[in-house]
Structure 1
Amino acid sequence: MLTPKFAAGGRPWAAIVLFVAAGAAVLGSFLLQGSIAELGIGFTTSTAPGALLTGLGMLGCAASMYSQPTTRVLAGWLGGALALVALPAANFGGFVVGTLLGMLGAAASLAWTDSPRSERPERPERSELPERHPKPERRDRHPQAARQEMCTGPRRADES
């Protein structure tokens, strides 16, 4: 059953919808070239394998994110790569629409997180952050004495 919690936070829906639309645009640019008689001729063109592989690959990325949301990073990278490959390989990536939708889907899948905003830790203020590189103490002694102190420890007043 599709509950509001399941629909809102359980899956990267924006990425899934964008990848389905991108895959449909790339496949549609190839499959909707004409009637069934022309389809046999269309399969022999050089864009046929590219359009089929990239379009089905983006649909596969959407199916992967739907069935297992933890694969969103891998599916996002792979879908983004397929969207870029579709640009030269499949009729300008489904007339550029498929490439743009695929890149937006990749960005949405990589940006998605399953935890609600209220449960995420807040970022500390800049004044609360520790210094990255604390400044070293200034030593007014000779460098050899400082090096010796590093090896043997500081001198006590009664040892001098």
Structure 2
Amino acid sequence: MRLHELKNVAGAVHRKKRVGCGEGGGHGKTSGRGGKGQSARSGSSIRPGFEGGQMPLYRKLPHRGFNQAAFRVEPAIVNVGDLESLDASITEINLEVLGANGLVRRDEKLLKVLGNGEISRALKVTAQKFSESAKAKIEKAGGQAIVA
């Protein structure tokens, strides 16, 4: 099979909606835009929550409290099976080593090791968090799980 022989699955490609081609087509006259007004014009886009200049609901209601969700730092996630795929000469693993080998982004600040997969060699792994299964698998293989 070659690239030019590939076909789309049945139903994957839809016909383009042709508007403004007469009433018989079902999308004539106003072309599905209703009557007159701002939304009938070309280039029209009204942002969500806009109420025509009236004070919008989201500005009328009080905002209380503070939420740290916007400032949360999510850890980079690596599985024990991914550590097995690293070069055999590497015995000490930390965020910098994983970044250099392409398992996490280089600008990550936190690392969490999860227990998916198997590990057969002794590694000294330094991370901010370990799952219970990851810690058990690393120590069973003769390695160390160090919480930084």
TM-score by length of 1: 0.21
More helix by share: 1
More strand by share: 2
TM-score by length of 2: 0.22
